[in-house]
A and B are shown apart, each in its own frame.
Chain A
Amino acid sequence: MSSLQCDITLTVNGETIRETVEARKTLVDFLRDDLGLTGSHVGCEHGFCGACTVRLNGVIVRGCLTLAVQCDGAKVETIEGLSDTGECADLQTAFETRNALQCGFCTPGMLLTAQELLASDRVPSREAIREHLSGNYCRCTGYHAIVDAVEAVAKARAGSGT
Chain B
Amino acid sequence: MKITDDVPSTLTALDRPNSYIGRSVPRPNLARLTQGRGHYVTDVTLPRMAHVAYVRSPHAHARIVRIDTTAAKKMPGVIAAVTGPELAKVITPWVGVLTHLKGLKSAPQSAIAIDRACWQGEAVCAVVARTRAEAEDACALVQVDYEELPTVTDPETALDAATHVIHADLGDNLCFERSLDVGTVDAAFAGSDAVVETTFVFGRHTGVTNEPRAIVADWNPGEQRLTVYHGTQAPHMMQNLFAKHLGLEESQVRVLTKDVGGSFGIKVHTYADEMAVVALSKLLKRPVKFVADRIESFVTDIHARDHRVKAKIGVMNDGTITAFEIDDLTGIGPYSVYPRTSGIEANQIVNLTGGPYACPNYRAHTRVVFQNKNVMCQYRAVGHPIACAVTEGLVELAAAKIGMDPLDIRRKNLIADNAYPTGSASGLKFEALSHHASLDKLVKMMDHDALRAEQTALRHKGIYRGIGFASFIEVTNPSAAFYGVGGAKISAQDGCTIKLDAQGAIVCHTGVTEQGQGAEAVIAQVAASAFGVAIERVRVITGDTDNTPYGGGTWASRAAGIGGEAAWQAGKALRQNVLAVAGSILQAKPETLDIRDSQVVDAGTGKERIGLDEVARIAYFRPDTLPPGFQAELMATRHYVPRAFPFSFTNGIQASYLEVDTDSGFVKLLKHWCVEDCGTVINPQLVDEQVRGGVVQGIGAALYEQCVYDERGQMLNGNMADYLVPMASEMPDIQCGHVVSPTADSELGAKGAGEAGTAGAPACVMNAINDALRPLGAAPLTDMPFTPGKILRALGRVS
Q: Hey, which bits of chain A sit against chain B, CB under 8 A?
A: 22, 24-25, 32, 37-46, 48-49, 51, 78-80, 83, 92, 94-99, 101-108, 111, 126, 129-131, 133-149, 152
Contact A99/B26 with A79-B35, A92-B35, A130-B728 known, Cβ cut-off 8 Å:
yes
- Residues of B within 8 Å of A38, CB to CB, are 36, 38-40, 42-43
Cβ-defined partner of A41 (8 Å) among B34, B207, B261, B725? B261
Which stretch of B416-424, B514-522, B594-602, B628-636 is in the interface?
A: B514-522
Which stretch of B381-389, B614-622, B684-692, B709-717 is in the interface?
A: B684-692
A137 touches B207 (CB 8 A): no
Nearest first, the 9 closest Cβ-Cβ pairs linking A and B are A39-B36, A104-B33, A102-B516, A105-B261, A103-B516, A142-B696, A79-B36, A48-B720, A142-B692
- Interface residue? B209 (CB, 8 A): yes
11 A-B pairs within 8 Å (CB atoms) are namely: A22-B133, A38-B43, A46-B719, A46-B721, A99-B27, A101-B30, A103-B261, A133-B729, A134-B728, A139-B264, A143-B726
- Interface residue? B37 (CB, 8 A): yes
- Residues of A within 8 Å of B151, CB to CB, are none
A41 touches B42 (CB 8 A): yes
Cβ-defined partner of B685 (8 Å) among A43, A51, A99? A99
- Residues of A within 8 Å of B757, CB to CB, are 142
Query: How many Å lie between the Cα of A108 and that of B32 in the bound state?
Result: 11
- Residues of A within 8 Å of B259, CB to CB, are 103-104
- Residues of A within 8 Å of B729, CB to CB, are 130-131, 133-134
Q: Hey, which bits of chain B sit against chain A, CB under 8 A?
A: 1, 3, 26-27, 30-40, 42-43, 133, 207-212, 259-264, 291, 293-294, 515-518, 685-686, 689, 692-697, 719-721, 725-729, 731, 733-734, 757
B689 touches A41 (CB 8 A): no
Contact A144/B692 with A104-B38, A130-B729, A136-B728 known, Cβ cut-off 8 Å:
yes
- Residues of B within 8 Å of A147, CB to CB, are 728, 733
- Residues of A within 8 Å of B212, CB to CB, are 43
A139 touches B728 (CB 8 A): no
Identity of the chain B residue whose Cβ is nearest the Cβ of A83 in the assembled complex: B35
Task: Contacts A103-B259, A143-B731 known; list 10 others, CB within 8 Å.
Answer: A41-B210, A44-B719, A44-B720, A45-B294, A49-B210, A49-B720, A96-B26, A139-B693, A141-B693, A142-B696
Query: How many Å lie between the Cα of A95 and that of B689 in the bound state?
Result: 13
- Residues of B within 8 Å of A80, CB to CB, are 35-37
- Residues of A within 8 Å of B721, CB to CB, are 46, 48
B38 touches A142 (CB 8 A): no
Contact A101/B516 with A22-B133, A40-B36 known, Cβ cut-off 8 Å:
yes
B262 touches A103 (CB 8 A): yes
Contact A108/B693 with A44-B720, A92-B31 known, Cβ cut-off 8 Å:
no
Query: How many Å lie between the Cα of A101 and that of B516 in the bound state?
Result: 8
Query: How many Å lie between the Cα of A36 and that of B613 in the bound state?
Result: 39
| Residue with the greatest number of chain A CB neighbours at <10 A, chosen from B30, B209, B263 | B30
Identity of the chain A residue whose Cβ is nearest the Cβ of B685 in the assembled complex: A99
- Residues of B within 8 Å of A95, CB to CB, are 30, 34
Query: How many Å lie between the Cα of A143 and that of B259 in the bound state?
Result: 20
- Residues of B within 8 Å of A48, CB to CB, are 719-721
Query: How many Å lie between the Cα of A138 and that of B693 in the bound state?
Result: 9
- Residues of A within 8 Å of B37, CB to CB, are 39, 80, 83
Query: How many Å lie between the Cα of A138 and that of B33 in the bound state?
Result: 14
- Residues of B within 8 Å of A96, CB to CB, are 26-27, 30-31, 34
How far is the CB of B610 from the nearest CB of chain A, in Å?
Answer: 34
B210 touches A144 (CB 8 A): no
B518 touches A144 (CB 8 A): no
How far is the CB of B510 from the nearest CB of chain A, in Å?
Answer: 18
- Residues of B within 8 Å of A145, CB to CB, are 689, 692
Query: How many Å lie between the Cα of A152 and that of B3 in the bound state?
Result: 12
B725 touches A107 (CB 8 A): no
Query: How many Å lie between the Cα of A22 and that of B80 in the bound state?
Result: 23
Identity of the chain A residue whose Cβ is nearest the Cβ of B723 in the assembled complex: A48
A140 touches B693 (CB 8 A): yes
Contact A104/B1 with A83-B35, A139-B209 known, Cβ cut-off 8 Å:
no
How far is the CB of A39 from the nearest CB of chain B, in Å?
Answer: 2
Query: How many Å lie between the Cα of A145 and that of B720 in the bound state?
Result: 23
- Residues of B within 8 Å of A108, CB to CB, are 34, 36
Query: How many Å lie between the Cα of A45 and that of B719 in the bound state?
Result: 10
| Residue with the greatest number of chain B CB neighbours at <10 A, chosen from A22, A37, A99, A111 | A99
- Residues of B within 8 Å of A79, CB to CB, are 35-36
Contact A137/B686 with A46-B720, A49-B210, A105-B210 known, Cβ cut-off 8 Å:
no
Query: How many Å lie between the Cα of A141 and that of B30 in the bound state?
Result: 14
Query: How many Å lie between the Cα of A39 and that of B735 in the bound state?
Result: 32
- Residues of A within 8 Å of B133, CB to CB, are 22, 24-25
| Residue with the greatest number of chain A CB neighbours at <10 A, chosen from B26, B27, B516, B697 | B516
Query: How many Å lie between the Cα of A159 and that of B32 in the bound state?
Result: 28
Contact A107/B1 with A42-B42, A142-B693 known, Cβ cut-off 8 Å:
no
- Residues of B within 8 Å of A99, CB to CB, are 26-27, 30, 518, 685-686, 689
Cβ-defined partner of A126 (8 Å) among B26, B32, B38, B733? B733
Identity of the chain A residue whose Cβ is nearest the Cβ of B39 in the assembled complex: A38
How far is the CB of B296 from the nearest CB of chain A, in Å?
Answer: 11
How far is the CB of B703 from the nearest CB of chain A, in Å?
Answer: 14
B693 touches A137 (CB 8 A): no
A152 touches B26 (CB 8 A): no
How far is the CB of B734 from the nearest CB of chain A, in Å?
Answer: 5
Identity of the chain B residue whose Cβ is nearest the Cβ of A94 in the assembled complex: B1
A149 touches B1 (CB 8 A): yes
A134 touches B516 (CB 8 A): no
Identity of the chain A residue whose Cβ is nearest the Cβ of B131 in the assembled complex: A33
How far is the CB of B521 from the nearest CB of chain A, in Å?
Answer: 9
Query: How many Å lie between the Cα of A42 and that of B42 in the bound state?
Result: 9
Identity of the chain A residue whose Cβ is nearest the Cβ of B211 in the assembled complex: A105
Identity of the chain A residue whose Cβ is nearest the Cβ of B698 in the assembled complex: A142
A144 touches B293 (CB 8 A): no
Query: How many Å lie between the Cα of A79 and that of B208 in the bound state?
Result: 23
- Residues of B within 8 Å of A152, CB to CB, are 1
- Residues of B within 8 Å of A24, CB to CB, are 133
Cβ-defined partner of B515 (8 Å) among A42, A103, A135? A103
B43 touches A141 (CB 8 A): no
Query: How many Å lie between the Cα of A97 and that of B34 in the bound state?
Result: 11
Query: How many Å lie between the Cα of A2 and that of B208 in the bound state?
Result: 38
- Residues of A within 8 Å of B3, CB to CB, are 97-98
